[in-house]
Chains A and B, each alone.
Chain A
Amino acid sequence: MAGLTPQYVLRRLGMFLLTIWLGATIIFIIPRLAPGDPVAAMVSRLTAQAGYIENSAEIIAAWRERFGLDGPLWVQYLAYMRNMLTLDMGYSLSSFPSRVDEMIFSALPWTVGLLSVSTILSFLAGNAIGALMGWPRVPRWIRALLPTSLTFTSIPFFMLGILLVYLFAYELRWLPPTGAYGRGLTPGWNWPFIKSVIEHGILPVLSIVVTSMGFWALGMRGMIITNQGEDYMILAEAKGLRPSRIFLRYGVRNSILPQVTALALSLGGIAGGSTLVEYIFAYPGMGYLLYQGIVNTDYTLIQGIVFMLILGTATAVLILDLLLPVLDPRISYER
């Protein structure tokens, strides 16, 4: 814990809060810059569907009040901030009696589970493959075979997802094509449910892991190779240390640090990119919910989800930031 000084923790916490505040403010401002307002837009959409709605002006006024869109801007802003802080996100515009927070909290665990499992697996597998690819002592034939595991890196993961669904769900019928668990199962800590969740998770996780681990592998390989020329590697060899120890404690240990930084930087993209995977697999997570929100122009829902994405990403970045000085004693001194 050498580098984990109170100043460092405070500074990181400050950055965390600043990020969330900025994110929330931007979410607040953007819809209000757009012409018209969400309620009017929705009522007009309903009008278009139903042909005619009586007293539409009154409905709009009533709804504006209900969604807090009637006061002056700063009152709206304060109310909005208070709501966001208490995670009270109001009602969904498109499926009215449902509350946005309830919808989000039933979707959240699925996304968190899917993304953390696939990100961790991809990070571990990618770095392991990359490290072995860069280490000269690994037998030549293994180093020649390893790159084949990275063939899918260059295709977008939703393409691979479609391919996997076709192959394993429709042709081979080994795994279910969509959803997060089988119909008729009661969610809870019972084996049939857990088994079903795992079965449903394999294809989405696989499509993310297989397409993203190449990124980690190539980075790791480069780091390992660069690292080999370092003086401390030569001294480690002069000390007569076992090759496995040099590889792990001097090679991988030193090369993993920039990788963790890269992981922190890529988290935002990972969260955003999951939308398509969830859509393809009809996985009931945040990405799928966001997709529905966009299709139905459900502003409150979109707002809530985007805020949660920002919150989640910032939290993950905070955790990694706090982890870095534990991994790399130099960090708190450098920044």
Chain B
Amino acid sequence: MSVNFAHEIDERRPAGTDQVVLQVEGLKVYYATPTGDVRAVDDVTFQIREGEIVGLVGESGCGKTTTAMAILRLVQSPGRIVDGRILVDDVDIARLNERELRQIRWTKISLIPQGAMNSLNPVMRIKDQIGDAIETHEGRQPRQALKERILSLLSTVGLPSRVYKMYPHELSGGMKQRVCIAMAIALNPTLVIADEPTSALDVVVQRVVGETLLDVKNRLGVSMILIGHDMGLMAQLVDRIAVMYAGHLVELADVYSLFREPLHPYTQLLIDSIPSIKERKPLKLTEGITHDLRNPPPGCIFQLRCPHVTDKCRTVVPPLLEVAPSREVACHLYYDA
């Protein structure tokens, strides 16, 4: 198997503690459409441990953002959480009432949204947008203390203090992205969900923002879910990777093993399709998700594109099972071992 990035990954990277901060069980999120429900997230189960970064990868439209929004219970209409439990500190977010939900948002789980460019209110100063998150949850603050706190947040993410008084349109894309990071860590949450925090940036700034995320994680010990397509960036940043395909989690493993020996055929394709300068190779991953998310085929979700497909795959859904220590995969090829 291709190991393009395996050499970059430090095998001894601390993978967090054993304390589970988020447990998602059997999550299903459907979007209602005139021709039936789009099963954007279908029976997804995973855990996030304290202090680790978990990468969530998969091609466009596989349900990454929907999963993230479901964890904050922010799925936009016509979407809805159909089933599942989202446990944070033994509290099921899916069952909270509105007031309890508001209290958990940002104090426990914060978000670096996919469109960070448009996620700042264009007519509010940066200080007010960070300040209102703080004051909503901690009550009115003395002006000076609040100012110092916001300034220190800005410097944590490497922004100059003049950003404090600026409006979003006065900032570059990378700066806005970092404002969003600063905002996300303002209340010291246990979990930060970063939805493609670097996808709209140029390569250098991507790297810098990536470093910022890593630095923030190391300093504050927060857990993170890092959503993205960029396998290179994933290799650089995350401890474990969850691979999603058409609303299903197909593989979950520590980043080193996953790059060295991907198990699920889809993961193999994904890693194989990382471009490399050393060898030119034909792209194996040619099309997007082949079936309609409204009508998933019976059996394995990947059967239509899988090179190893068997009769069993066409009838029995493969569950996500642990096939080796810290390696979970949803594929019939590995269950007998």
Do the two shown chains form a genuine complex with each other? yes
Indicate if A58 sits at the interface (CB-CB under 8 A).
no
Q: Is the CB of A230 within 8 A of B118?
A: yes
Q: Is the CB of A254 within 8 A of B110?
A: no
Indicate if A57 sits at the interface (CB-CB under 8 A).
no
Q: Is the CB of A254 within 8 A of B122?
A: yes
- Chain B residues contacting A254 (CB-CB under 8 Å) are 121-123
Select one of A230, A237, A240, A241 contacting B104, CB under 8 A: A240
Min Cβ gap A105→B in Å is: 40
- Chain A residues contacting B72 (CB-CB under 8 Å) are 238
- Chain B residues contacting A242 (CB-CB under 8 Å) are 102, 136
Indicate if A166 sits at the interface (CB-CB under 8 A).
no
Proximity string of chain A (236-255) to chain B, C-beta cutoff 8 Å, 1 when within and 0 when not: 11111110010001100110
Indicate if B107 sits at the interface (CB-CB under 8 A).
yes
Indicate if B91 sits at the interface (CB-CB under 8 A).
no
Q: Is the CB of A235 within 8 A of B111?
A: yes
Task: Report the Cα distance A230→B102, complex, angstroms.
Answer: 19
Task: Report the Cα distance A2→B167, complex, angstroms.
Answer: 9
Given contacts A231-B115, A333-B169, contact A249 B132 (CB under 8 A): yes
Given contacts A232-B120, A329-B169, contact A239 B74 (CB under 8 A): no
Main secondary structure of the interface of A (DSSP, over half): helix
- Chain B residues contacting A240 (CB-CB under 8 Å) are 101-107, 133, 136-137
Q: Is the CB of A245 within 8 A of B106?
A: no
How many A residues have CB within 8 A of the partner chain? 25
Indicate if B113 sits at the interface (CB-CB under 8 A).
yes
Task: Report the Cα distance A245→B136, complex, angstroms.
Answer: 9
Proximity string of chain B (294-320) to chain A, C-beta cutoff 8 Å, 1 when within and 0 when not: 000000000000000000000000000
Q: Is the CB of B121 within 8 A of A238?
A: no
Q: Is the CB of A250 within 8 A of B121?
A: yes
Indicate if A185 sits at the interface (CB-CB under 8 A).
no
**Residue from A257, A327, A330 whose CB has the most chain B CB atoms within 10 Å:** A330
Indicate if B97 sits at the interface (CB-CB under 8 A).
no
Indicate if B290 sits at the interface (CB-CB under 8 A).
no
Task: Report the Cα distance A232→B132, complex, angstroms.
Answer: 13
Task: Report the Cα distance A330→B123, complex, angstroms.
Answer: 8
Q: Is the CB of B123 within 8 A of A327?
A: yes
**Residue from A229, A239, A250, A254 whose CB has the most chain B CB atoms within 10 Å:** A239
Q: Is the CB of B137 within 8 A of A330?
A: no
Proximity string of chain B (67-84) to chain A, C-beta cutoff 8 Å, 1 when within and 0 when not: 000001010100000000
Task: Report the Cα distance A257→B121, complex, angstroms.
Answer: 13
Indicate if A328 sits at the interface (CB-CB under 8 A).
yes
Residue of B nearest to A3 (CB): B167
Min Cβ gap A166→B in Å is: 46
- Chain B residues contacting A18 (CB-CB under 8 Å) are none
Q: Is the CB of A330 within 8 A of B167?
A: yes
Q: Is the CB of B74 within 8 A of A241?
A: no
- Chain A residues contacting B121 (CB-CB under 8 Å) are 232, 236, 249-250, 254
Give me 9 A-to-B residue pairs in the complex whose CB atoms sit less than 8 angstroms apart, sorted by A's number: A2-B167, A231-B119, A239-B110, A239-B183, A240-B101, A241-B132, A242-B136, A249-B124, A330-B167
Task: Name A's B-contacting residues (CB within 8 A).
Answer: 2, 229-232, 234-242, 245, 249-250, 253-254, 257, 327-330, 333
